[in-house]
Amino acid sequence: MGPIVTLLSDFGTTDSYVAEMKAAILAFVRNAMLVDVTHEVPPQDVDRARLLLERYWQRFPPGTVHLVVVDPGVGTARRALAVECGHARLVGPDNGVLSPALSHREARAVELLPSARASATFHGRDILAPAAAALALGTPLAQLGRPVASPRLVTTPVPTPRPGGAMDGIVLTFDRFGNAVTNLTAGDDTGERTVEVASRVVPLRRTYADVAPGEPLALVGSSGLVEIAVRDGNAAHRLGLEQGMPVRLR
Amino acid sequence: MGPIVTLLSDFGTTDSYVAEMKAAILAFVRNAMLVDVTHEVPPQDVDRARLLLERYWQRFPPGTVHLVVVDPGVGTARRALAVECGHARLVGPDNGVLSPALSHREARAVELLPSARASATFHGRDILAPAAAALALGTPLAQLGRPVASPRLVTTPVPTPRPGGAMDGIVLTFDRFGNAVTNLTAGDDTGERTVEVASRVVPLRRTYADVAPGEPLALVGSSGLVEIAVRDGNAAHRLGLEQGMPVRLR
Amino acid sequence: MGPIVTLLSDFGTTDSYVAEMKAAILAFVRNAMLVDVTHEVPPQDVDRARLLLERYWQRFPPGTVHLVVVDPGVGTARRALAVECGHARLVGPDNGVLSPALSHREARAVELLPSARASATFHGRDILAPAAAALALGTPLAQLGRPVASPRLVTTPVPTPRPGGAMDGIVLTFDRFGNAVTNLTAGDDTGERTVEVASRVVPLRRTYADVAPGEPLALVGSSGLVEIAVRDGNAAHRLGLEQGMPVRLR
């Protein structure tokens, strides 16, 4: 029963890049269980990769290694990191993408030692994947490099409380269905609450079926965050939503 | 050698939804062998998912669990099912998508018990994946819920015999190459037979190479059904074919 | 710890074709570790599949079986091959796609025996996948068919030396980011060198960060070949590059 290694990248699925990374892992960990998260992060969209990682990294069994390769700075002086946090290990560039783990108090990070044999443009295959393999084999973090005191941290903006119990937040990202994920949280009481976005007032409901087809609604999504959706439709297009747009929960 | 779990959904491959389902399975079945069928079923296209499932579910080794999550009714009163049929087990919503197995006489279905901790919008992760994991571990079907007497069944239309040995059918779906899959069957004798579709008469041949490049033909596809194709071309576009369009085999 | 089988095809990821091939492998090799390279080779683009295979086939652990199904001639008299070369085994049609292995002196190839039960249009599932499974189980190559003396070989054009140390080559292919891969090689000395392409002169640099954002450059890509790129941009679109276009390294 091999160690689990998840892969997240912006390499797309039409080239051999992902397969080359997998081969680099399997060369060290012949029985690794490889799980693709997605390789369709928009090219160089570190923010999107960070928000995705936040959703899944703590859901996998203890010992899982998460390899994240969205790396616009490849070949520059940007550091490459290995991180340990609780029972999870992560590998990726030091560009903020690993913040969901690094922001935990107990997280420890090391800077991966550069390899003389690494290509200048494909550290995912030549540096990061071998480091993920080493962690999957149980190599202690300290053996992979020097401790890093202040890795790059990017955090999701925190909502702002407003008078009368309202909260101001923003649209963080969209999913495939056009649902807008915000940084707002809401408890189970969806009763009389509404969300204002793009000059509209949208009711907060428990599930899609609580409004008529084609109608907009807000709901607490599966990540625990408030999402803005259109039943059987695409909220991004229908409501003209954009990343960073302000939202207010009343 | 872990149990095989196949995954079919309309979640796309750009979000973390599929990875979250996989994490939910691996949390229970650490050595599961996960096989993605496709996650690019058009959103909420239950019919397309059903036709895909029909093609593959009986091809996998005994004991395989098939998880199907195309679920427009998530969060409503629609039931979630676990099904046993021969050596296969299936999990999915009770919206007809599991009909290829449910239509067998020996199929048995139970209604999955709702979980208090399930999100309202992501039963794939919170209810269906854990049920698939339980089945993969060998949990008897009866332990997962109450028997369901009349699950929702959707069946592929049966062709209509016509005078003179002809058969009337319809276009069921298309594949990536633009080939139109019909509900017609034809034996090995492709001799003098033709298919009428969209005001054209197309010869029934054994293989693409039996016509010139760019020419239309009909052939018995790899599912055993008659398909309409264009050699080195896209039949859907070239012949103006649409789902549900009538076809006649003479 | 099951044998590794990689899969490369033009089947796309929206149909069940890939799953059906995997089921055919798992039926024989229940513990196979299946690694998708890509299934998004443009339909029938044998050349593209060959260039991809060249990048990855030697990177996988010894004993890996590479299944390649880009097969415009399916159903015709074209042969199907199993190949052994060093510690790797490959299976695919005899249309040149396996040339990266076949061009090695020690490569041995056999013609797969046709199966009476094979469909006329899906040899990937009915002939090639079972052959890959047999090789994965350790079946000697000779048991799979008769030796083939002269399999179809397609080789990448070799660059032409020019007076003054220049080399003439061509654009072979593009990756997802719009980088153009050429058939030119260059040593580590990128000092004063340039690449001419599409009436432009582009500097050869070590990495993207050696030019300003939006600027074109050439660099030695991760395959060891010279690539033409635009920092944070798409070289194919920005420079109007096309497959087969001449390039000159000075």
Taking only the tens place, the pLDDT of each residue in A161-179 is: 998 889 999 999 999 889 9
Q: Is the pLDDT of residue C239 over 80?
A: yes
The number of beta carbons lying within 10 Å of the beta carbon of residue B178 is: 18
Q: Which residues of C touch B36 (CB under 8 A)?
A: 19
Taking only the tens place, the pLDDT of each residue in A62-95 is: 999 999 999 887 777 789 999 999 999 999 999 9
Nearest CA-CA partner of C96 in C53, C144, C143: C53
The verdict on a CB contact (< 8 Å) between B35 and C19 is: yes
| Residue bearing tokens 């090695």 | C104
Which 3 state secondary structure label does DSSP give B205?
strand
Average pLDDT, chain A: 93
C221 to chain A nearest CA, in Å?
7
Distance CA B137, CA B115 (A): 19
Closest CB to C16: pick one of B55, B61, B207. Answer: B55
Distance CA A52, CA C159 (A): 43
Q: Which residue of C has its CA nearest to A44?
A: C232
Q: Which residue of C has its CA nearest to A124?
A: C222
Residue B80 pLDDT: 95
* B91 and B66 Cβ atoms separated by less than 8 Å: yes
- Percent of chain A residues topping a pLDDT of 90: 79
Q: Which residues of A touch B39 (CB under 8 A)?
A: none
A248 touches chain C (CB under 8 A): no
Residue B115 pLDDT: 76
C104 to chain A nearest CA, in Å?
21
The verdict on a CB contact (< 8 Å) between C4 and A26 is: yes
How big is chain C by its Cα radius of gyration, in Å?
A: 20
A4 touches chain B (CB under 8 A): yes
Residue C65 pLDDT: 98
Residue A36 pLDDT: 98
Distance CA B42, CA A100 (A): 31
Confidence band, pLDDT 50/70/90 cuts, at residue A232: confident
Distance CA C185, CA C190 (A): 11
Q: Is the pLDDT of residue C108 over 80?
A: yes
B209 to chain C nearest CA, in Å?
6
DSSP C175-208: -TT-PEEEEEE--S--TT-EEEETTEEEEEESSG
Which distant-in-sequence residues (6+ apart) come within 8 Å of B149 by Cβ? Answer: none
The verdict on a CB contact (< 8 Å) between A35 and B31 is: no
Residue A28 pLDDT: 97
C175 touches chain A (CB under 8 A): yes
Distance CA A51, CA A98 (A): 10
* Burial letters B42-76, b for 16+ CB under 10 A, else e: ebbbbbbbbbbbbbbbbbbbeebbbbbbbbbbbbe
The verdict on a CB contact (< 8 Å) between B55 and C14 is: no
Q: Which parts of chain B register pLDDT below 70?
A: 188-191
A-contacting residues in C 53-112 (Cβ below 8 Å): 55-56, 59-61
**What's the distance, Cα to Cα, between the start and end of chain C in Å?**
49
Q: Is the pLDDT of residue C116 over 90?
A: no
C173 touches chain A (CB under 8 A): no
Confidence band, pLDDT 50/70/90 cuts, at residue C231: very high
Q: Quick one: average pLDDT of A220-245?
A: 93
The verdict on a CB contact (< 8 Å) between B222 and C34 is: no
Distance CA C209, CA C215 (A): 10
Nearest CA-CA partner of C65 in C96, C21, C105, C95: C21
Q: What is the 8-class DSSP label of residue C96?
A: S
Q: Which residues of A touch B26 (CB under 8 A)?
A: 4, 35, 60-61
Q: Which residue of B has its CA nearest to A1?
A: B31
Distance CA A73, CA C230 (A): 14
B&C contacts, CB < 8 Å: 83
- In angstroms, the Cα distances linking C120 to A37, B190, C114, C116 are 35, 12, 11, 10
Q: Which residues of B touch C39 (CB under 8 A)?
A: none
B28 to chain C nearest CA, in Å?
19
The verdict on a CB contact (< 8 Å) between A15 and C1 is: no
Distance CA B213, CA B211 (A): 7
Chains touching chain A at 3 or more Cβ pairs under 8 angstroms? B, C
Nearest CA-CA partner of B235 in B186, B197, B193, B192: B197
The verdict on a CB contact (< 8 Å) between A19 and C61 is: no
C206 touches chain A (CB under 8 A): yes
A&C contacts, CB < 8 Å: 83
Q: What's the pTM?
A: 0.94
Give the mutation candidate from A56, A189, A223 for the B interface (greatest B CB count, under 10 A).
Answer: A56
Q: Is the pLDDT of residue A44 over 80?
A: yes
Distance CA C96, CA C145 (A): 19
Q: What ipTM is given for this predicted complex?
A: 0.92
Residue C184 pLDDT: 94
A22 to chain C nearest CA, in Å?
8
Taking only the tens place, the pLDDT of each residue in A47-56 is: 999 999 999 9
Residue C226 pLDDT: 94
Q: Which residue of B has its CA nearest to A64?
A: B23
B-contacting residues in A 19-58 (Cβ below 8 Å): 33, 35-38, 40-41, 52, 55-56
Residue A188 pLDDT: 64
Q: Quick one: average pLDDT of C30-57?
A: 95
Residue C3 pLDDT: 97
* Burial letters C153-192, b for 16+ CB under 10 A, else e: eeebeebeeeeeeebbbbbbbbbbbbbbbbbbebeeebee
Distance CA B141, CA B136 (A): 11
Residue C190 pLDDT: 60
Q: Is the pLDDT of residue A150 over 80?
A: yes
Q: Is the pLDDT of residue C188 over 70?
A: no
Nearest CA-CA partner of A247 in A175, A164, A159, A179: A159
Angle at B192 between CA B189 and CA B195, to 5 degrees: 95
